[in-house]
Amino acid sequence: MAQEPNTSITLSGLHAYSDVRSVAPREVIHFHASSDSKYQFSIRRLGSNLDGPGADDVQLYPLVGTTLPREPLVQPIHPGSYIHVENGITGSLSNLTLECWVRPWQLQRTAGVLTQYTYNVACGFGLFVNGDGTPIFFVGNGTTLENGASVVGPALSLRAWVHLVGVYNGATMSLYVNGSLVASKARTGAVVPGTAPLRIGAYGETNASDAGETKRMLDGDVAMPVIYSRALTATEVQTRYTARGGVAPSGSGILAWWKLDEEQGVSVADASGNGHTGTLVNRGTWMIGGPAFDSAAVNLASYNPATDTTRGHGIRFASDDLYDCGWPVTETVTVPDEWTPGIYVGRFELRNASGAVTADPPYDVTFVVRRGPAQAKRQVLVLCATATWLAYNTAPFAGIRVADPYNGISPNPSAPEFSLYFDHHSNAPNTAAAASQPVYQVGLRMPWPSAAPYLRLAVPTDIGYSHLVREERFVHQWLSGAYDFDVATDFDLDADPALLTGYKTVVICGHSEYWTRTAHDRLDAYLTNGGPSGAPGAAIVLAGNVMFWRTSLDLANGIMECRKFPPSLAGANTNATAGEVFHSLDTSHARGGTARECGMPCYSVLGMDSLGTLGTDNAYFFPYQAVSTSHWLFAGANFTNGSYFGYRGSTPRAVGHEFDVRVSTPLMTRNASNVPTDPTGIVTVATCSATVPALTCRNWNGDLVPATSETAVISQIIYWQRPSPSGGQVVYAGSISAGWALDQDQPLQKVVENALTHFGVTKR
């Protein structure tokens, strides 16, 4: 049966995205836009104005005045995950049994569990969860709704696995919950599946405006769905319940069953051999475990999902799942050779009825232009933290672009709103209705206003601080005054094994928080022997919270996965459990969580690691204090030990928001166990100290350090000559806001200039 479209949500305003996050000259980038107003489209390479789309932004495409305004084109979205089975059940059935384990995450909206049912035109059969939390078993004639053809059980419990079995024997409909008969009703006649699609985790509806849509998606987990053409006995039902989803169905009459053991991808096999293969719509979430699995009891120090015979297999659905808008292309641009590496935007400027540009801020789709095949590598590569830009993309269909991503962006209340910082349904109208499934993945083929170039983050007052694109541009801006450099995204680092090879220096700046294991290993290999002529490479890090969470990527399908655990960590998933920390995008299903827990700690590659976070108003930004001015990093700075630096004007800005330190730092080791040994060869040249009660610091184990009135080191600047044979050199200023200070602070500029010179980089 053909797939019916998901519920259509029409968006007001303008929204757009590009098909890729980086592109090289001679490659093509596509843009996808939805707008209820006319707009003008152009490509801009961002210039020296970091605070708005001023005249310094150069228009590159199309040539000014050569294009007419685009006409309005509203493109809807279709959120919600479930499994669609193209080859549904056909014929007439004298007996029928539906079986499925389900764990509901909300019980206030009617949803399908295992159905071949579109109300009110193709009502075949189904297991449902009603809006009052009660389970329903229905059998019908395959056309309009047959009154009285359903039985209802007692209300289910939230977030608890329950075994539902609906049995029809030609004379009686029976509903079993956890092996016990809870309701029955007389009915005679055949069950006709009808023409509705067979779905797992949803059912369809029609109204005057559509011919049928999938509208009733389940917010919950399912396991072991089975359809039989016979009536199971009460004993068989009890046996199936006792098996807790860990035993394959047996006996005659198995029409279809789905083991759900793929644990990745979108194809779901029918283990019966009858060809009822399913397609996962809007991804869903794999690696959940089944009814027999106690996810909360997992000991991550010793657990391996591959050897756990009791884990079972479940899949999680969310009615707001959306990772690819699927919009047709509205703009196509082939990048010419003369576009130099840097951060660019596809700019959409709204037009009024007379065709004039409106006063509304432009809508910018940020992307990166890499070095092209006809361009030689420059001496420096600057890595853009695109994974972090994406991780914060809570409101992809926001109505405001130049604003605080938490408080200023105005989301569409009917559109999905979730990210790696907010659970599913974070824009639900009330907390009781919110399903709050933890978010383990985000999509790249979506608008990402989080990456708008002028976006600031300042709570509670706007002091001009930013931690995503704009923060990195301070470093780009300073470098561009004297140095030529290439740029690339951290997605490129994961995709291209030769990306770093041959550069004299790699610069990491801003909020480079999310790293794949592949990217971690490639940076380590570059520092070992990936520099010019196979010599060790060098890195300059002007960033904080670096390499903190492990991610996995499926760039072909536009998915980034990150499973944050434990929930006590800042920014982690509220309802995550230990057994769900294993990545579905890995063929080995390796564990996720913090990089240090996943065997890829930042300190082992770059010398320091993340310590904590603090507020973003004036009281929480600090300077560095020099402690080793005899070091070559301070040559020409005219500094003495104890001197402070890292200012914008007279205001300290170098250390703020989040910050990194050596693992031997007292706040990192306090009340911690198994703290690793500091790598040898590190020289601390500057420190930043602050009063602990103002901070949220965590020791090596991730536990909060009790607040005291002491003043303690929260950030450092180090030089690390990595020991042989790993080689390589690192200069690391451990703070997200380091680039903000670099823009104006001459001593910090001298430190970075000395580092570049020491690493063999020459000025333009």
> Which DSSP category does 134 fall into?
-
Model confidence at 308, pLDDT cuts 50, 70, 90, reads very high
Per DSSP, the residues of 562-593 read -----TTSTT--TT--GGG-B-SSSTT--B-S
CA 197, 201, 203, 204 torsion-angle sign: negative
Residue with tokens 């590190």: 682
**What pLDDT does residue 403 have?**
43
Q: Are 106 and 281 in contact (CB under 8 A)?
A: no
Average the pLDDT over 565-573 and give the result.
Answer: 88
Average the pLDDT over 142-157 and give the result.
Answer: 94
Query: Please, is 186 exposed, middle or buried when counting C-beta atoms within 10 Å of its C-beta (0-12, 13-18, 19+)?
Result: exposed
How far is residue 611 from each of residues 374, 385, 656, measured CA to CA in Å?
A: 42, 19, 12
Q: Are 238 and 221 in contact (CB under 8 A)?
A: no
Dist CA 445 CA 29 (whole Å): 13
Q: Model-level pTM?
A: 0.96
The pLDDT tens digits of the residues spanning 675-707 come to 999 999 999 999 999 988 888 999 999 999 988
C-alpha closest to that of 444 among 22, 82, 9, 6? 22
Q: How is residue 378 written in tokens?
A: 């420059």
Dist CA 747 CA 686 (whole Å): 12
Which has more confidence, 247 or 211?
A: 247
Per DSSP, the residues of 151-212 read EE-PPPPTT--EEEEEEE-SSEEEEEETTEEEEEEE--S-B---SSPEEES--EEEETTEEE
Model confidence at 406, pLDDT cuts 50, 70, 90, reads very low
Residue with tokens 């206003």: 449
Dist CA 162 CA 664 (whole Å): 49
Average the pLDDT over 629-648 and give the result.
Answer: 95
**What pLDDT does residue 447 have?**
96
The pLDDT tens digits of the residues spanning 387-404 come to 999 999 988 998 654 444
**What pLDDT does residue 63 have?**
72
What are the structural domains of the chain? 82-317 (2.60.120.200)
The pLDDT tens digits of the residues spanning 354-373 come to 777 777 778 999 999 999 98
407 has a pLDDT exceeding 50: no
Q: How is residue 251 written in tokens?
A: 């006996």
Which stretch of DSSP H or E encloses residue 238?
A: helix 234-242
Q: Are 258 and 100 in contact (CB under 8 A)?
A: no
- Residue 653 pairs in a beta bridge with none
Reduced to 3 states, what is the DSSP secondary structure of residue 658?
strand
Dist CA 513 CA 521 (whole Å): 15
Average the pLDDT over 479-484 and give the result.
Answer: 97
Residue with tokens 């080793």: 628
**What pLDDT does residue 256 have?**
98
Dist CA 439 CA 443 (whole Å): 11
430 has a pLDDT exceeding 60: no
Q: How is residue 13 written in tokens?
A: 């305003």
Per DSSP, the residues of 408-440 read T----TTS---BTTB-TTTT-SSTTT---PPP-
Per DSSP, the residues of 603-621 read HHHHS-EEEEE---SGGGE
**What pLDDT does residue 405 have?**
43
Residue with tokens 């764990």: 103
432 has a pLDDT exceeding 60: no
Dist CA 65 CA 634 (whole Å): 50
Q: How is residue 307 written in tokens?
A: 């050897």
Average the pLDDT over 81-101 and give the result.
Answer: 98
The pLDDT tens digits of the residues spanning 517-533 come to 999 999 999 999 999 99
C-alpha closest to that of 189 among 171, 212, 213? 171
- Residue 182 pairs in a beta bridge with none
**What pLDDT does residue 429 have?**
54
Rg of the chain over all Cα atoms, to the nearest angstrom:
28
Q: How is residue 499 written in tokens?
A: 């990306």
Q: Let me know how long the chain is.
A: 764
**What pLDDT does residue 410 have?**
53
Dist CA 632 CA 53 (whole Å): 39
Dist CA 624 CA 619 (whole Å): 15
65 has a pLDDT exceeding 70: no
263 has a pLDDT exceeding 60: yes
Which stretch of DSSP H or E encloses residue 682?
A: strand 682-691
Dist CA 540 CA 536 (whole Å): 14
Instruction: To the nearest 10°, report the CA torsion of 445, 449, 454, 459.
Output: -140
End-to-end CA distance of the chain: 64
Model confidence at 309, pLDDT cuts 50, 70, 90, reads very high
C-alpha closest to that of 756 among 530, 506, 511, 544? 506
285 has a pLDDT exceeding 50: yes
Dist CA 148 CA 125 (whole Å): 13
Dist CA 362 CA 139 (whole Å): 53
Dist CA 349 CA 344 (whole Å): 15
**What pLDDT does residue 411 have?**
58
**What pLDDT does residue 355 have?**
73
Q: How is residue 419 written in tokens?
A: 């990210």
Model confidence at 460, pLDDT cuts 50, 70, 90, reads low
User: What is the average pLDDT value for the chain, to the nearest integer?
Assistant: 93
